[in-house]
Structure 1
Amino acid sequence: MKRSSFCSTKVIWWLLLAMALVYLMMSCGERSTPTNSKARALVIKSLVIVPPTVQEGRTGVVDAVVEDDANNPFSGVIVSFSVSPSNIGYCSPQVDTTDANGSAGTVFTATAPGIAIIRASIEGATAKTIQVEVVASEAITKPLSIEITPAVLPADGISTSQIKVTVSDTSGNPAKDGTLVKFTVGEKFEDVDSDGYFTEGIDELKYDVNQDGRWNPIGFIPYYAFIKKGQATVNYVAGLRTGTAYIKVTATVGGYLIQDDASLLLVPTDSVAYIVLIPDDPTIQVRGTGGVEATQIRAICYDDNGNRVGADFPVEFYIISGPDGGESLDGVVSDSITTKTNPYGEASVTLLSGTKSGTVRLRAKVTTVLSASTIVTICAGPPVDISLTPYYCNIPGCKVDCVEDSICACVVDRYGNPVPDSTSVYFGTEEGLVLPSDKTKQGYAYSVYISGDPRNDCIALVWAETRGEDGIISDTCTIILSGAPASVTFLDYPHTILADGISEGHILIEVLDANDYFVVDSTPVKMHSVFGSVASGVTKDGCQTSLFQTYLTSEVLAQDYSMKYPDRDDSVGVVSLLTAKCGVESTTVDVTFLTGTTYSEKCSIHVVEYIPIGATVPVVVFVKDAYGNPLGGHHIVADQDHSWRGTITGSSYTNEFGEATGFFFEADVSCGQGVVALYDEDPKGGVCIAFNVLIVP
């Protein structure tokens, strides 16, 4: 009994030891195989084909669903499809990207009878396979058969395939000559209305190649042809997009509709026309700083029709310029390295950072085709410099609490690169308060200044500091805490302006608060002028100045408002008041509107036009300048020398409306055209004013 117990115990211990060794080996195996955590979390949940059995020469739709480890559909994953053995059929497209439902699809085209294994794979996860049986074509003669030669074309827009269609009746006899055969080519669809063509809203799209939600033609094929000796032949011209083109053929023989599909494959051309070069991450960090030190540089190669090329095109990657800190491609310190494209037309290398920060410029080349350059920034070492600036240099925070301003600190290393993210920056102030700290993101740290106690002189000094390469580094900035407008000053304005209705005078106004600080930007200034027009507006800047600029536009006066002397013209039409008001503060200045000299064409004489022989009539004259301003104080006298067929008498001074009265004209005893003439004796006059009259019986 004791011996048996001892043996049993040994067996148990050996079993436990073996299990522990197996567990350790499995754990070590798992740790020794580095995988991408994101890819390891994905799985191809399902792979199906409809229908499950495909006839030779026919197609089936393949659908793969990708989910994450929480059973959620995952979009944006590249799924590759392949068929083995390859002589039984092929998938087109060979690559698809999962949509929002985690679904990626392709079309399987059967080319020979047998069992085909369709394989779907994604990077970093176990592939999934499904079997499909390809059955032979029916032994009986099909009423409609389609022969495509060749079945594979380059997607170049010019290559052609011959489409030969054989049509027979239900007895196997060739269809009559002249029988109409319809053709259409494009994405796969079900012809619900059986008209041979895709009808929007009626027919059903079965496979949307470009996933735009609508049927698209692929290449070109004649719409119809006619049977001759049982056959109809047309030429198909390739499209510019790679993938499978589905040809639908429709005919009516003996009152029966006959319809069938066939497909051909459009592949990329055999040359690279252009290259798109992109980095997975445009920013990496210098070696040894704890950040990401490498990024994939991908060259996507396209043919001249915009399709991705196939595999095995050699692509040369070049480092054009860099900081020369030991950066390399695939760990090789060299100016260039060559890799080949994969089946998706992509070639890639890994850019590794060195010990210096800076900008790396790269290009890719295939034979003589050169890509545009792409840039990867290597950043950054410890902080060396910090600069601080407020968003607003002036806020209305004098004796006002809780007025906020954003503060930004820019922190860079010795090469001017933004420091690594999460570098701590600390803020302080001697007036009001500021949020104490922040961590950098892309070299920037932010804080908020808030006005309040303690208060000093309404100029807030704010500082920011961080630990740098050689100790603490800091910077300061100031924020003006301005108050309400307390003074409004005309720095420039037109003391005089011509009353012509078009002249303008420049106005410049400075607005300050009670501390003689600039007021905040966009402080409203209201302008008013008794005569003329002037626009209101807002002050500008608030940091280096607080000025408002506008213009006074003159006007033509209705009367002479400034008649200091009734017997002479002082050239002043009016002295206008120009007022600027900001808040409750305002200031007013005088602007003199000047009139011009007498202009005869603007003057007028009022007298009856038809004067009887020997009659005496009163005469009134209005005197104005060239702009139409009435001129007061002008001495007007009768001008007998220029009067005709009568006698003019009287003299008078013009009033504020430019009017002079007290003149009389006595007509002669002869009939005919007469002239009434007056003369302006003022120093600003010196002109004759005349008016034609008619002396009548």
Structure 2
Amino acid sequence: MKIKTFLSFLFIIVTLILVTSCELKKDDGSTPTDPTTETNFTVKGKVYDLITNGVLSNAVVRLIFNETEKGASTNSSGEFSLQIALTGDTELKLITSKNGYLKDTTTAYAILANSTLTVDDIKLMQDTSAAVIPTPGKPASIYLKNQSVPSIGVKESGSPETARLLFEVQDSTGIPINIENQVAVSFKIGAGPNGGEFLSVASALTDEFGQVELFVTSGTIAGVIQIVAEFTSDNSLIRSQPVAIAIHGGLPYSDNFYVVSEKVNYPAYSVVGFPIEFTAYVGDKYSNPVRPQTSVYFSTSSGIIEGSGQTDKLGTVTVTLLTGPTPNLPEYGKGYFSVEARTVDENQNIIIASTAKIQSFEPIITLSPNNFDIPNLGSQEFLVTLMDINGNPMSENQSLKISILEENTLKLDGDIDVSIPDTQSKTWTIFYFTATDTSKTENEQLITIEAISDGANGKTKTSLFGITR
């Protein structure tokens, strides 16, 4: 019994020692590596001929890691060295090539704490089956090999503001030049919107692949910027074709936000489903069209309208409204309806643009006075009103014509042949004309004056009877 108790006590003591040891190891005061901090790391190695075991100079080693690529050439001792920036332990891929040899692909693992990795010797096998690629000659041309994005946005637009351009210099046979034929490539802006856009460098040297990169950053004005790359070889200036990059506008700005339709007055009162297109024009704070695909939302006080759309390259978006029968906008009156467009500015505030339109109805004509008696060589002024049932003006090109039906000596002057413009103004509902007796002899006549209106709102007429003496 005593032995069993002693063994149990011994087991508890050993367990406590182990637990305490584990906790001490866990809490050793070490600080974990910041996964976002970049650390310089060196990768080096040596390239040999597989058969002769001789070192190979001018072999090109491409190092690929984390979607990044670096390159270097071996020196006369067959050695290469590459400096890279790592944020953690990473798998590396090395692709080694040389004219007349088969390409070799090697993988290695970089441990960040070691700061340097010496890869195993790379041995290339001679390619006896394929034709030997000639050694690159003197630089003869330059072209754009790669462009990171087709377009960028103006400053503070929320879009990428910088584009990366990769140019490649080739010899006369189309082979990229090597490091021995390295040239300095100069860059300039051939044309641009002059909004403060700029280039990262004025010139740069080609690398071992004959390549050189440039970064283009936008300013505050949208448009197209053209980049020209050029270099000098044998006293001759060699230039690339201009590279065009579109610079789009920024986010919506309330002072440059509008919604409109083609007309202000439509002959559509009591009509369900009359189609009317509305267009939102959206600009940024620099008066550029906003970036394409900016969303705009629409609503209406009457009828049905498409709910949303996205802007095109000019900052416009168009939707269709189908009218309701009897709109009524309290601040304007019967026959009016409104359309609102909404979007979001750079401060995440909703901004609104709105417009009011008329749906006008059938024409109604009144003449005043409703009869007349004009003395010899006398005259009479008449008031004519032309409006719909809601007191609104007619739509565009609705006509008003005043005439006398009988042969007579009465002359009409004033608003006797009117074509209504596209308007919401009540001034286009009131008209005046004068009837004047031009006969020098007294001769009583019965006269009929007729007013006719015709157009998209419909046709109507009314008559006025009187005499001249």
Give the TM-score, by structure 2 length.
Answer: 0.46
Query: Relative contact order, CA 8 A, sep 6+: which one is greater?
Result: 2
